[in-house]
Amino acid sequence: MGKIFSPGKLLLTSEYVVLDGALALAVPTQLGQEFFFEEFADEKSLIRWEAFHQGILWLKVELSHQNWEIITSNLREPGEFILKVLQNAQRLSGSTFQKGISYHLKTNLQFPADYGLGSSSTLMNNLAEWANVDPYRLNELSLGGSGYDIAVAREKAAVLYQNLPERKVKKINFSPEFRNELLFIHLNRKQNSREGINLYKSKEKSKELVEEFSSLTLEIIKCETPEKFSELMEVHEQKLSDFLGIPTVKEKYFADAPVFVKSLGAWGGDFVLTSKFPGFKAYFRDKGFSSVFAWSELVL
């Protein structure tokens, strides 16, 4: 029996462009996903998988790990995905699931599913740690993506991440002195990250574009004042808006805000980063955004 935990993530810089090798800054969240495991002698050689969401059971799957067939599942597609991921873990490990042993595997996602904090990446990292396999390979086989979210889950710390020409992960202490002035706002609009990625991939990229965002990331981690940080956030947002050809989140929802508002991760949904100003609580509430978090409430 045992337990593994992986934190969620927030991507602060180089969203989308990280796919082409831009240096990105990401931070871990206090909430993440728990993984509980138990194994015992049993000739049936089964896996019983239970997935909880904030303590409420939503997926229950029983499968054979000898012939990799689902015996029962209360939801078809999620059950098939779990089967695929567990098979991938077995392929990478070669010895994870032993004949004559049954496994009870249980997950608990601690944050709302529409928060976009990494329900998949925390699952991949937990499973990889348990199976003693490379989480990046497991993620590539099962889902794809840049891998920055895996880096945060694995390091359980803020990271500088770059995946081209080869993967580089640098664990850093990103805790700016002005962090208490920063806010995270949840937009209550779960974004399909695939749509944004497809839009980004349809555009012609240049080496200069990647270098611009890498440079911005380096400037941002060195920021010592909220004024400079705000300026760089606005530059980052406008550059990506111009490249994607879509309005910024501030133009869409917060045009009259007296502070910067920056998208985090998939544009159009999930969280944005901004800063405090007089009357900010009423301002965001009146616009229909009541999920407002201080840095200390969200970041690990």
Mean pLDDT by 10 residues, the chain (300 residues): 96 94 97 97 96 97 96 97 97 92 98 90 97 96 93 98 94 96 87 69 89 97 96 96 92 95 82 96 94 95
How confident is the model at residue 269, as a pLDDT? 64
Q: Name the one residue in this structure whose structure tokens are 């974004």.
A: 191
Tell me which fold the domain 2-172 belongs to. Answer: Ribosomal Protein S5; domain 2 (3.30.230)
**How far apart are the C-alpha atoms of 290 and 253, rounded to whole Å?**
14
How confident is the model at residue 188, as a pLDDT? 79
User: How large is the angle between the packed helices 119-131 and 148-155, nearest 10 degrees?
Assistant: 60
Specify the domain boundaries for CATH 3.30.230.10 within the chain: 2-172
How confident is the model at residue 197, as a pLDDT? 77
Query: Is CATH 3.40.50.2300 the classification given to domain 179-298?
Result: no
The sheet with strand 271-275 has its strands ordered as: 261-263, 271-275, 182-186, 292-294
Percent composition of the chain: helix, strand, coil (DSSP 3-state, to 5): 40, 30, 35
Task: Encode burial over 154-193: b for 16+ CB neighbours within 10 A, e otherwise.
Answer: bbebbbbbbbeeeeebeeeebebebeebbbbbbbeebbeb
How confident is the model at residue 193, as a pLDDT? 60
How confident is the model at residue 157, as a pLDDT? 97
**How far apart are the C-alpha atoms of 68 and 47, rounded to whole Å?**
10
User: How large is the angle between the packed helices 119-131 and 76-93, nearest 10 degrees?
Assistant: 40
Helices (H), the chain: 76-93, 119-131, 135-142, 148-155, 193-201, 207-221, 226-244, 249-253, 280-286, 295-298
Task: Encode burial over 72-82: b for 16+ CB neighbours within 10 A, e otherwise.
Answer: ebeeeeebebb
Handedness of CA 133, 137, 140, 141 (dihedral sign): negative
DSSP letter for 258, please.
Answer: S
Specify the domain boundaries for CATH 3.30.70.890 within the chain: 179-298
How confident is the model at residue 80, as a pLDDT? 97
